[in-house]
Amino acid sequence: MDDAARLRPRAPRTLRVEHVMGTVVSIDVRDAEADPHVLDTVVEWLHEVDARFSTYREDSEVSRLSRGELSLGDAHADVREALALCDEVHALSHGLFDVWRGGRLDPSALVKGWSVERAALILQLAGLGDFCVNAGGDVLVRGEAAPGEPWRVGIRHPEESERVAAVLAMNRGAAATSGLYERGGHIVDPRTGQVASRLLSVTVVGPSLTYADAFSTAAFAMGADGVRWVAAELPGYDAYAITAEHRAVWTAGLDALLAPAES
Protein backbone atom coordinates (compact mmCIF):
# COMPACT_ATOMS: atom_id res chain seq x y z
CA MET A 1 0.00 0.00 0.00
CA ASP A 2 1.44 3.41 -0.95
CA ASP A 3 1.59 6.48 1.33
CA ALA A 4 -1.32 8.18 -0.44
CA ALA A 5 -3.53 5.17 0.20
CA ARG A 6 -2.56 5.16 3.88
CA LEU A 7 -3.58 8.81 4.22
CA ARG A 8 -7.01 8.38 2.67
CA PRO A 9 -9.82 8.59 5.22
CA ARG A 10 -11.40 5.26 6.05
CA ALA A 11 -15.02 4.90 4.99
CA PRO A 12 -17.61 4.31 7.70
CA ARG A 13 -19.00 0.79 7.48
CA THR A 14 -22.26 -0.90 8.34
CA LEU A 15 -22.28 -4.63 7.63
CA ARG A 16 -25.20 -7.06 7.78
CA VAL A 17 -24.84 -10.76 7.00
CA GLU A 18 -27.91 -12.97 6.52
CA HIS A 19 -28.40 -16.63 5.65
CA VAL A 20 -31.26 -16.61 3.16
CA MET A 21 -32.20 -18.10 -0.23
CA GLY A 22 -29.89 -21.04 0.40
CA THR A 23 -26.80 -18.83 0.54
CA VAL A 24 -25.11 -16.08 2.55
CA VAL A 25 -25.99 -12.48 1.68
CA SER A 26 -23.80 -9.65 2.91
CA ILE A 27 -24.88 -6.00 2.77
CA ASP A 28 -21.88 -3.70 3.14
CA VAL A 29 -22.74 0.00 3.39
CA ARG A 30 -20.04 2.68 3.42
CA ASP A 31 -22.22 5.81 3.68
CA ALA A 32 -21.71 7.98 6.75
CA GLU A 33 -25.36 7.58 7.75
CA ALA A 34 -26.82 4.09 7.40
CA ASP A 35 -30.12 3.63 9.22
CA PRO A 36 -30.18 0.03 10.54
CA HIS A 37 -33.93 -0.04 9.92
CA VAL A 38 -33.22 0.20 6.18
CA LEU A 39 -31.10 -2.94 6.41
CA ASP A 40 -33.95 -4.61 8.32
CA THR A 41 -36.24 -3.79 5.40
CA VAL A 42 -33.76 -5.31 2.93
CA VAL A 43 -33.45 -8.50 4.97
CA GLU A 44 -37.23 -8.78 5.27
CA TRP A 45 -37.50 -8.44 1.49
CA LEU A 46 -34.98 -11.21 0.88
CA HIS A 47 -36.85 -13.57 3.22
CA GLU A 48 -40.10 -12.67 1.46
CA VAL A 49 -38.50 -13.66 -1.85
CA ASP A 50 -37.27 -16.92 -0.32
CA ALA A 51 -40.75 -17.78 0.93
CA ARG A 52 -42.32 -17.06 -2.44
CA PHE A 53 -39.72 -18.52 -4.82
CA SER A 54 -37.95 -21.31 -2.93
CA THR A 55 -37.91 -24.66 -4.71
CA TYR A 56 -37.22 -26.34 -1.34
CA ARG A 57 -40.42 -25.16 0.35
CA GLU A 58 -43.53 -27.13 -0.49
CA ASP A 59 -45.76 -24.12 0.21
CA SER A 60 -43.91 -21.58 -1.95
CA GLU A 61 -45.71 -20.19 -4.97
CA VAL A 62 -43.02 -21.56 -7.27
CA SER A 63 -43.48 -25.07 -5.86
CA ARG A 64 -47.23 -24.79 -6.21
CA LEU A 65 -46.90 -23.54 -9.79
CA SER A 66 -44.57 -26.41 -10.54
CA ARG A 67 -47.12 -28.95 -9.25
CA GLY A 68 -49.98 -27.25 -11.11
CA GLU A 69 -51.75 -26.25 -7.88
CA LEU A 70 -51.54 -22.53 -8.69
CA SER A 71 -52.15 -20.78 -11.99
CA LEU A 72 -49.78 -18.06 -13.13
CA GLY A 73 -52.68 -15.60 -13.27
CA ASP A 74 -53.31 -16.17 -9.56
CA ALA A 75 -49.64 -15.87 -8.56
CA HIS A 76 -48.19 -12.83 -6.83
CA ALA A 77 -47.22 -9.94 -9.13
CA ASP A 78 -43.55 -10.48 -8.21
CA VAL A 79 -43.73 -14.08 -9.41
CA ARG A 80 -45.34 -13.04 -12.67
CA GLU A 81 -42.69 -10.35 -13.17
CA ALA A 82 -39.77 -12.71 -12.50
CA LEU A 83 -41.14 -15.43 -14.77
CA ALA A 84 -41.73 -12.89 -17.56
CA LEU A 85 -38.07 -11.91 -17.25
CA CYS A 86 -37.15 -15.60 -17.44
CA ASP A 87 -39.12 -15.87 -20.68
CA GLU A 88 -37.24 -12.85 -22.03
CA VAL A 89 -33.83 -14.39 -21.24
CA HIS A 90 -35.01 -17.73 -22.68
CA ALA A 91 -35.58 -15.95 -26.00
CA LEU A 92 -32.33 -13.94 -25.84
CA SER A 93 -30.36 -17.11 -25.15
CA HIS A 94 -31.98 -19.06 -27.99
CA GLY A 95 -33.53 -21.43 -25.47
CA LEU A 96 -30.35 -22.14 -23.47
CA PHE A 97 -31.77 -20.45 -20.37
CA ASP A 98 -34.62 -22.74 -19.35
CA VAL A 99 -36.36 -22.62 -15.96
CA TRP A 100 -38.22 -25.89 -16.59
CA ARG A 101 -36.29 -29.13 -16.22
CA GLY A 102 -37.89 -32.52 -15.90
CA GLY A 103 -41.28 -30.92 -15.46
CA ARG A 104 -40.04 -28.89 -12.48
CA LEU A 105 -40.00 -25.08 -12.31
CA ASP A 106 -36.83 -23.47 -10.94
CA PRO A 107 -36.28 -19.76 -11.72
CA SER A 108 -33.50 -19.44 -9.11
CA ALA A 109 -30.89 -18.53 -11.74
CA LEU A 110 -32.65 -15.22 -12.29
CA VAL A 111 -34.47 -14.64 -9.02
CA LYS A 112 -31.38 -14.24 -6.85
CA GLY A 113 -30.03 -11.41 -9.00
CA TRP A 114 -33.49 -9.88 -9.36
CA SER A 115 -34.04 -9.88 -5.60
CA VAL A 116 -30.65 -8.29 -4.91
CA GLU A 117 -31.33 -5.61 -7.50
CA ARG A 118 -34.60 -4.80 -5.76
CA ALA A 119 -32.73 -4.74 -2.43
CA ALA A 120 -30.31 -2.20 -3.90
CA LEU A 121 -33.24 -0.03 -4.91
CA ILE A 122 -34.44 -0.05 -1.29
CA LEU A 123 -31.01 1.18 -0.20
CA GLN A 124 -30.89 3.85 -2.88
CA LEU A 125 -34.37 5.15 -2.07
CA ALA A 126 -33.19 5.53 1.52
CA GLY A 127 -30.45 7.87 0.27
CA LEU A 128 -27.53 5.44 0.40
CA GLY A 129 -25.02 5.62 -2.42
CA ASP A 130 -21.95 3.61 -1.41
CA PHE A 131 -22.68 -0.07 -0.87
CA CYS A 132 -22.07 -3.62 -2.00
CA VAL A 133 -24.53 -6.49 -1.82
CA ASN A 134 -23.01 -9.96 -2.24
CA ALA A 135 -25.36 -12.93 -2.55
CA GLY A 136 -23.25 -16.06 -2.68
CA GLY A 137 -20.77 -14.50 -5.11
CA ASP A 138 -23.30 -12.58 -7.19
CA VAL A 139 -22.38 -8.97 -6.49
CA LEU A 140 -23.94 -5.55 -7.03
CA VAL A 141 -22.02 -2.37 -6.20
CA ARG A 142 -22.76 1.33 -6.07
CA GLY A 143 -20.42 4.23 -5.38
CA GLU A 144 -17.10 3.80 -3.60
CA ALA A 145 -15.65 1.39 -1.08
CA ALA A 146 -13.68 4.31 0.38
CA PRO A 147 -13.13 7.90 -0.75
CA GLY A 148 -11.53 7.72 -4.19
CA GLU A 149 -11.51 3.92 -4.27
CA PRO A 150 -13.73 1.63 -6.36
CA TRP A 151 -15.11 -1.61 -5.04
CA ARG A 152 -12.86 -4.61 -5.71
CA VAL A 153 -15.01 -7.56 -6.76
CA GLY A 154 -13.26 -10.89 -6.70
CA ILE A 155 -14.15 -13.66 -9.15
CA ARG A 156 -13.78 -16.88 -7.20
CA HIS A 157 -11.39 -19.51 -8.50
CA PRO A 158 -13.63 -22.45 -9.54
CA GLU A 159 -11.38 -25.11 -8.00
CA GLU A 160 -9.72 -23.34 -5.07
CA SER A 161 -12.29 -21.64 -2.87
CA GLU A 162 -9.76 -19.50 -1.01
CA ARG A 163 -8.37 -17.99 -4.23
CA VAL A 164 -9.72 -15.47 -6.72
CA ALA A 165 -9.24 -15.96 -10.44
CA ALA A 166 -9.51 -12.24 -11.19
CA VAL A 167 -10.48 -8.95 -9.57
CA LEU A 168 -12.79 -6.30 -11.02
CA ALA A 169 -12.57 -2.63 -9.99
CA MET A 170 -16.11 -1.25 -10.15
CA ASN A 171 -18.04 1.83 -9.03
CA ARG A 172 -21.41 0.81 -10.39
CA GLY A 173 -22.59 -2.47 -11.84
CA ALA A 174 -23.03 -6.14 -11.20
CA ALA A 175 -21.15 -9.39 -11.59
CA ALA A 176 -22.67 -12.88 -11.46
CA THR A 177 -20.81 -16.16 -11.66
CA SER A 178 -22.09 -19.59 -12.66
CA GLY A 179 -20.22 -22.85 -12.13
CA LEU A 180 -20.64 -26.31 -10.66
CA TYR A 181 -18.63 -25.74 -7.48
CA GLU A 182 -21.50 -24.54 -5.25
CA ARG A 183 -24.63 -26.47 -6.26
CA GLY A 184 -23.11 -29.36 -8.20
CA GLY A 185 -24.51 -30.39 -11.58
CA HIS A 186 -27.48 -28.02 -11.61
CA ILE A 187 -26.82 -26.37 -14.99
CA VAL A 188 -27.93 -28.52 -17.88
CA ASP A 189 -27.47 -27.91 -21.59
CA PRO A 190 -31.06 -28.20 -22.90
CA ARG A 191 -29.71 -29.27 -26.29
CA THR A 192 -28.23 -32.47 -24.86
CA GLY A 193 -29.94 -32.93 -21.50
CA GLN A 194 -26.47 -33.35 -19.98
CA VAL A 195 -24.78 -31.31 -17.26
CA ALA A 196 -22.77 -28.52 -18.87
CA SER A 197 -19.06 -29.23 -18.44
CA ARG A 198 -17.06 -27.34 -21.07
CA LEU A 199 -16.43 -24.44 -18.67
CA LEU A 200 -15.37 -24.42 -15.03
CA SER A 201 -17.02 -21.06 -14.43
CA VAL A 202 -18.26 -17.99 -16.24
CA THR A 203 -18.86 -14.52 -14.85
CA VAL A 204 -21.07 -11.97 -16.57
CA VAL A 205 -20.61 -8.28 -15.77
CA GLY A 206 -23.04 -5.49 -16.63
CA PRO A 207 -25.47 -2.89 -15.35
CA SER A 208 -28.17 -5.27 -14.07
CA LEU A 209 -27.66 -8.17 -11.68
CA THR A 210 -31.04 -9.57 -12.74
CA TYR A 211 -29.77 -10.12 -16.25
CA ALA A 212 -26.14 -10.84 -15.35
CA ASP A 213 -27.30 -13.68 -13.10
CA ALA A 214 -29.45 -15.27 -15.79
CA PHE A 215 -26.97 -14.55 -18.60
CA SER A 216 -24.16 -16.28 -16.67
CA THR A 217 -26.28 -19.43 -16.37
CA ALA A 218 -27.09 -19.39 -20.09
CA ALA A 219 -23.46 -18.71 -21.02
CA PHE A 220 -22.29 -21.59 -18.84
CA ALA A 221 -24.76 -23.93 -20.55
CA MET A 222 -23.41 -22.79 -23.94
CA GLY A 223 -19.84 -23.71 -23.03
CA ALA A 224 -17.17 -22.15 -25.25
CA ASP A 225 -19.84 -20.32 -27.23
CA GLY A 226 -21.04 -18.51 -24.12
CA VAL A 227 -18.37 -15.80 -24.08
CA ARG A 228 -18.87 -15.19 -27.81
CA TRP A 229 -22.65 -14.94 -27.26
CA VAL A 230 -22.22 -12.28 -24.57
CA ALA A 231 -19.84 -10.27 -26.76
CA ALA A 232 -21.96 -10.50 -29.89
CA GLU A 233 -25.53 -10.29 -28.63
CA LEU A 234 -25.65 -8.59 -25.21
CA PRO A 235 -24.73 -4.88 -25.48
CA GLY A 236 -23.41 -3.50 -22.20
CA TYR A 237 -22.44 -6.94 -20.82
CA ASP A 238 -19.07 -8.68 -20.70
CA ALA A 239 -17.90 -12.14 -19.68
CA TYR A 240 -14.92 -13.80 -18.01
CA ALA A 241 -14.69 -17.59 -18.26
CA ILE A 242 -12.35 -20.35 -17.18
CA THR A 243 -12.46 -23.28 -19.56
CA ALA A 244 -12.26 -26.96 -18.69
CA GLU A 245 -8.64 -26.71 -19.88
CA HIS A 246 -7.98 -24.09 -17.16
CA ARG A 247 -7.63 -21.24 -19.63
CA ALA A 248 -9.04 -17.79 -18.83
CA VAL A 249 -10.88 -16.02 -21.64
CA TRP A 250 -12.78 -12.75 -21.50
CA THR A 251 -14.48 -10.13 -23.63
CA ALA A 252 -12.69 -6.93 -24.57
CA GLY A 253 -14.88 -4.72 -22.40
CA LEU A 254 -13.43 -6.24 -19.23
CA ASP A 255 -9.94 -4.90 -19.96
CA ALA A 256 -10.95 -1.60 -18.35
CA LEU A 257 -12.22 -3.31 -15.18
CA LEU A 258 -9.65 -6.03 -14.51
CA ALA A 259 -7.38 -5.07 -11.62
CA PRO A 260 -4.34 -6.66 -9.98
CA ALA A 261 -5.31 -9.41 -7.53
CA GLU A 262 -3.31 -7.59 -4.84
CA SER A 263 -2.51 -3.94 -4.40
Least trusted range by pLDDT, from 5-9, 10-14, 94-98, 148-152: 5-9
Question: What length is written for the chain?
Answer: 263
Name the band, by pLDDT with cuts 50, 70 and 90, for residue 213: very high
Does the pLDDT at position 3 exceed 70? Answer: no
How does DSSP classify residue 16? Answer: E
Least trusted range by pLDDT, from 23-27, 86-90, 129-133, 158-162: 158-162
Does the pLDDT at position 25 exceed 80? Answer: yes
pLDDT in tens, 214-260: 999 999 999 989 999 999 999 999 999 999 899 999 999 999 999 97
Does the pLDDT at position 8 exceed 60? Answer: no
In the prediction, which pLDDT does 186 show?
59
Tell me if 120 sits within 8 A of 27, measured CB to CB.
no
- For residues 2 and 25, the model is more confident at 25
Does the pLDDT at position 6 exceed 70? Answer: no
In the prediction, which pLDDT does 158 show?
86
pLDDT in tens, 147-197: 999 999 999 988 887 889 999 999 999 999 998 755 544 566 666 665 566
For residues 37 and 164, give the distance between their C-alpha atoms in angstroms, rounded to a whole number: 33
In the prediction, which pLDDT does 84 show?
98
**Residue 196 amino acid letter:** A
Tell me if 11 sits within 8 A of 144, measured CB to CB.
yes
- Number of Cβ within 10 Å of residue 235's Cβ equals 9
Rg (Cα) of the chain, in Å, rounded? 19
In the prediction, which pLDDT does 263 show?
45
pLDDT in tens, 98-144: 999 888 999 999 999 999 999 999 999 999 999 999 999 999 999 99
Tell me if 138 sits within 8 A of 148, measured CB to CB.
no
Does the pLDDT at position 29 exceed 60? Answer: yes
In the prediction, which pLDDT does 102 show?
82
